[in-house]
Chains A and B, each alone.
Chain A
Amino acid sequence: MDHVLQLKNVSKTFGEVAALHQVNFEVGTNEIVGLLGDNGAGKSTLVKIVTGYHQPDPGGEIYWKGERVAHLSVAKARDLGIEVVYQERALADQQSLWRNIFMGREISNRWGILDVNGMRSETDKLMNTAMGFTSAAVTSESTVKTFSGGERQGVAITRALYFKAELIVLDEPTMGLSISETKKCLDFVEGIKKAGKSAIFIDHNIFHVYPIADRIVVLDRGTVAGQFMKAQLTLEELISRLQRVAQTGVLDTSPQAMA
């Protein structure tokens, strides 16, 4: 399988604390990887390495589409097409939808004068296609604070896809969402798959990750405790295994244990 992103032997220590230890992690082309783990398992450290906020300790290697990336900075990650969707920090609440879609990447001429009509009509197009907002009451001029939690995640994901993100990192996108809103949000994550792009879906709610992930990676205390193709096991098996991880720190991935 082609990999869009590969981490090899990545460790990260903060002073005395090893947040990640010898982690091997990869995301395939057009694959949705669910990243599960308790608080403190190293999920956010891993994400920050992927997005260039942290550099791995010497010895760790990062590959993008098979090519080694020597120094992955935030700017470099953006250029490669790695985009993070944070729940709280994704949108500017009091601004219109079109201003949020084009946030920081406004269409303008060389004098910096905005093409407002162009951005509005692009946003209208996206609303009818990618976002599926069909209600006449929502326009490209609607402020996003009136949107529900799931819709807001949808705006952020749509924005990432519109600007040709290759790998979208979703940091706990369903946190605090109601059941129906979670469903909406997960539909948008499935849209990433349909668009032929890849995603890392971080959550500690296994019920949200399981239905849409192709592969589930379990982090525990800074190491990869195990990973499964979803096809390999049922949700019930996964849950009982995760309980064992919590107790022992070891995830039994042997075929015997699977059976």
Chain B
Amino acid sequence: MNTVIEAQRPKSPARAGNAVSRWARRNGLQIGTVGVALFIWLLFLIGAPRTFMSFDIYNALLITTPFFGIVAIPLTLVIITGEIDLSFGSLMAWGMTGFSVTYTLTQNFWLGFVACLLFGLLAGLINGLIVVKIGVPSLVATIGTQFFWAGAVLVVTNAQGIGLTFTQGSLLHAGLVGQLGGVLPMQFIWMILIAIVVWFLLNRTRFGAHVYLTGDNLDSARLMGVDVDRIKITVFAIVGLAAAFAGFVQSIQLLFFWPTMGQGNFLNTLAAVFLGGTSVFGGTGTIFGTFVASFIINAINPGIVAVGLTQYYTQVIYGFIIVISVALQALLRKRLT
């Protein structure tokens, strides 16, 4: 039956099909991400039933995934515009440096929290300005700022951490890392809220429409009057802000700020964005994909240990996931053009 229809319209076989297959095709990458999630979950469930049948592992995932998921979600915007930010790890610690300095001066942790966000926002803004106004490729620019801010953190803090036990019992602590109804970690709620806000920005606002256009076809976006410079600077600034927030959440959860914080978040954050189906070539990507992929990525480490492999495999798998995801995007792109 289908072949007859396609024979009648030989020039557009891709258009034959019903609404369901069209929906499936349009959301193919997201369906794929959920498929990967189920597959890996099943694998771990079979390999280590004792771990993966208990609530503890899921509780741990809900607590720790937001540490990098909160960054991965806005990082998706940067990658959709066709750029990349590799400095987010350092910005997590740089934001906390802003907190340390401000708290030491004022003994007010609310003020410190605000300073943390401002430090991150400014550093992100600088990333954007270097890329857009000076014209340094973002890959190189943000490797540079990654080292710069990591170094700046050590210089300012003298490589000394700061304990955060004084925040215990405060509204800030309860609001960021407390538990909702005694079960759900607050940082998980924040990650959902951030995902919803960024989803709305990306899909339902002029700004988001321009993010997609900028990454898809820079020339045509510019010709049609999209302010691509402003869009790029804004997405870098948002990542800076989110990185500082994630750094704060992680620190207040652990009740200690380590000046080297964030350095370990490099691979998993990037892997989450790419596994989520966001194209490194720009123009496509979804917040839903990044959200789900963040949990997949975070489950891999405990999963590997639980099934009896050494933890060393984690890095191998993260690297593998990044290469495979991007390779798939490259192949898809080739097929479609």
What residues of A have a CB within 8 angstroms of the CB of B9 in the complex?
135
> Which parts of B191-222 form the interface with A (CB within 8 Å)?
204-210, 212-213, 216-217, 219-221
Q: How far is the CB of A5 from chain B (nearest CB, A)?
A: 19
Known: A95-B213, A99-B213, A112-B206. A146 touches B220 (CB 8 A): no
CB atoms of B206 and A89 under 8 A apart: no
Q: Contacting A112 at CB < 8 Å: which of B207, B223, B337? A: B207
Q: Contacting B337 at CB < 8 Å: which of A84, A103, A105, A145? A: A145
Rounded to whole angstroms, the CA-CA distance of A89 and B223 in the bound complex is 8
Residue A138 CB within 8 A of the other chain: yes
Known: A105-B225, A135-B15, A148-B12. A91 touches B220 (CB 8 A): yes
Known: A93-B283, A148-B11. A86 touches B217 (CB 8 A): no
Rounded to whole angstroms, the CA-CA distance of A103 and B226 in the bound complex is 8
> Which parts of A112-162 form the interface with B (CB within 8 Å)?
112-114, 116, 135, 137-139, 141-143, 145-146, 148
Rounded to whole angstroms, the CA-CA distance of A102 and B206 in the bound complex is 10
Residue A205 CB within 8 A of the other chain: no
Residue A190 CB within 8 A of the other chain: no
What residues of A have a CB within 8 angstroms of the CB of B14 in the complex?
146
CB atoms of B15 and A103 under 8 A apart: no
Residue B17 CB within 8 A of the other chain: yes
What residues of A have a CB within 8 angstroms of the CB of B208 in the complex?
114
Q: Contacting B217 at CB < 8 Å: which of A91, A113, A116, A142? A: A91
CB atoms of A104 and B15 under 8 A apart: no
Q: Contacting B283 at CB < 8 Å: which of A94, A114, A141, A142? A: A94
What residues of A have a CB within 8 angstroms of the CB of B224 in the complex?
103-105
What residues of A have a CB within 8 angstroms of the CB of B223 in the complex?
84, 86, 89
Residue B22 CB within 8 A of the other chain: yes
Rounded to whole angstroms, the CA-CA distance of A83 and B207 in the bound complex is 23
What residues of B have a CB within 8 angstroms of the CB of A94 in the complex?
212, 216, 279, 283-284
Q: Contacting A95 at CB < 8 Å: which of B207, B216, B225, B336? A: B216
What residues of A have a CB within 8 angstroms of the CB of B16 in the complex?
137
Q: How far is the CB of A120 from chain B (nearest CB, A)?
A: 13
Identify which of B9, B213, B219, B284 gathers the most chain A CB atoms within 10 Å of its CB. Answer: B213
- Secondary structure of the A contact surface, majority rule: loop
What 0/1 pattern do residues 23 to 40 of B give for CB contact below 8 A with A?
000100000000000000
- Secondary structure of the B contact surface, majority rule: helix
What residues of B have a CB within 8 angstroms of the CB of A135 in the complex?
9, 12, 15
CB atoms of A90 and B15 under 8 A apart: no
CB atoms of B22 and A92 under 8 A apart: no
Which of chain A's residues has its CB closest to B214's CB? Answer: A92
What residues of A have a CB within 8 angstroms of the CB of B221 in the complex?
92, 103-104
Q: How far is the CB of B13 from chain A (nearest CB, A)?
A: 10
What 0/1 pattern do residues 70 to 110 of A give for CB contact below 8 A with B?
00000000100000101011111111000100111110100
CB atoms of B17 and A137 under 8 A apart: yes
CB atoms of A145 and B336 under 8 A apart: yes
Q: How far is the CB of A65 from chain B (nearest CB, A)?
A: 23
Known: A78-B225, A137-B12, A137-B16. A92 touches B204 (CB 8 A): no
What residues of A have a CB within 8 angstroms of the CB of B11 in the complex?
148
CB atoms of B213 and A104 under 8 A apart: yes
Which of chain B's residues has its CB closest to A84's CB? Answer: B223
CB atoms of B205 and A90 under 8 A apart: no
CB atoms of B12 and A95 under 8 A apart: no
What residues of B have a CB within 8 angstroms of the CB of A138 in the complex?
15
Which of chain A's residues has its CB closest to B212's CB? Answer: A95
What residues of A have a CB within 8 angstroms of the CB of B22 in the complex?
137, 139, 141
What residues of B have a CB within 8 angstroms of the CB of A93 in the complex?
216-217, 283, 337
Which of chain B's residues has its CB closest to A96's CB? Answer: B26
CB atoms of B284 and A114 under 8 A apart: no
CB atoms of B283 and A92 under 8 A apart: yes
Q: Contacting A114 at CB < 8 Å: which of B12, B204, B225? A: B204
Identify which of A89, A102, A104, A113 gathers the most chain B CB atoms within 10 Å of its CB. Answer: A104
Which of chain A's residues has its CB closest to B21's CB? Answer: A137
CB atoms of A114 and B205 under 8 A apart: yes
What residues of B have a CB within 8 angstroms of the CB of A114 in the complex?
204-206, 208-209
Identify which of B12, B17, B217 gathers the most chain A CB atoms within 10 Å of its CB. Answer: B217
CB atoms of B216 and A92 under 8 A apart: yes
Rounded to whole angstroms, the CA-CA distance of A114 and B226 in the bound complex is 15
Rounded to whole angstroms, the CA-CA distance of A84 and B222 in the bound complex is 13
16 contacts between A and B (CB under 8 A): A89-B223, A92-B216, A92-B283, A93-B217, A93-B283, A95-B213, A95-B216, A99-B213, A103-B220, A108-B205, A112-B206, A114-B208, A135-B12, A137-B16, A145-B336, A148-B12
Where the two chains meet, the residues of A that have a C-beta atom closer than 8 Å to any C-beta of B are 78, 84, 86, 88-95, 99, 102-106, 108, 111-114, 116, 135, 137-139, 141-143, 145-146, 148
Where the two chains meet, the residues of B that have a C-beta atom closer than 8 Å to any C-beta of A are 9, 11-12, 14-17, 22, 26, 204-210, 212-213, 216-217, 219-221, 223-226, 279, 283-284, 336-337
Minimum-distance CB pairs A-B, first 8: A104-B224, A137-B15, A92-B216, A104-B225, A94-B283, A112-B206, A89-B219, A92-B217
Q: A92-B216, A112-B207, A146-B14 are in contact. List 14 more A-B contacts (CB 8 A).
A: A78-B225, A92-B217, A93-B217, A94-B284, A104-B210, A104-B226, A111-B205, A112-B206, A114-B206, A135-B9, A135-B12, A135-B15, A146-B12, A148-B12
